[in-house]
Structure formats: structure tokens, C-alpha cells
Amino acid sequence: MNRPQTIEGWQVWDLAKKLTGQLRAVPGAVLGLDMTAALACAHALGVDTLVCAELLPEVEGMLVRGLNAQIRTDQQEAGSA
């Protein structure tokens, strides 16, 4: 369903997996990716930065929603323990 359909899509997906250390966060929430670092990493890896600029915000949105949902679940479980 959400699988990359092109080589460029796969490259951006692989890049996104490498960016887990480039999260902008505050206590209790993830805000997003450090896009400056993301595009620098893309450039260093030879990934088309124009494609990354188009696709990474979509990946970022899903990543932020998923991580924040997990944080809320973890906080609720810790509160009920």
C-alpha cells in the first residue's frame, strides 16, 4: 500500500531509516526531522535532494504521528502501572 514505487522512493525510504538520530524532540514529543541534516545526508549519499525535499515531509509526518502515538501509549501504560 505505502511501499515505494520507484528507485528514488526506495532511496528516500532508506535515507529516512538512517535519520532516526536526526529527530527534533522535546520531552514527551517528537516534533520532526532535522531537514538540514536530512538533506545534507541525502547529498552525501548521492540521493537526489529535490526528490528528498518532495518526499521526506510525507515520511516525516507519518514518523511523527507514529512515534508520538507510541509515546502516549507508553505514558498511559506507565501511569496505570
pTM: 0.79
The pLDDT tens digits of the residues spanning 8-23 come to 888 988 998 899 889 9
**Crossing angle for the helix pair 7-18 and 49-80, nearest 10 degrees?**
50
pLDDT tens sequence across 13-57: 899 889 988 999 999 999 999 999 999 999 999 999 999 999 999
Within a domain: 2: no
Please check whether residue 16 lies inside any domain of the structure: yes
Residue 15 lies in a domain: yes
Domain count, the chain: 1
pLDDT at 4 over 80: no
Does residue 1 belong to any structural domain of this protein? no
H-helix or E-strand spanning residue 31: strand 29-33
Does residue 62 form part of some domain?
Answer: yes
Residue 73 belongs to domain spanning: 7-80
Answer whether residue 37 is part of any domain.
Answer: yes
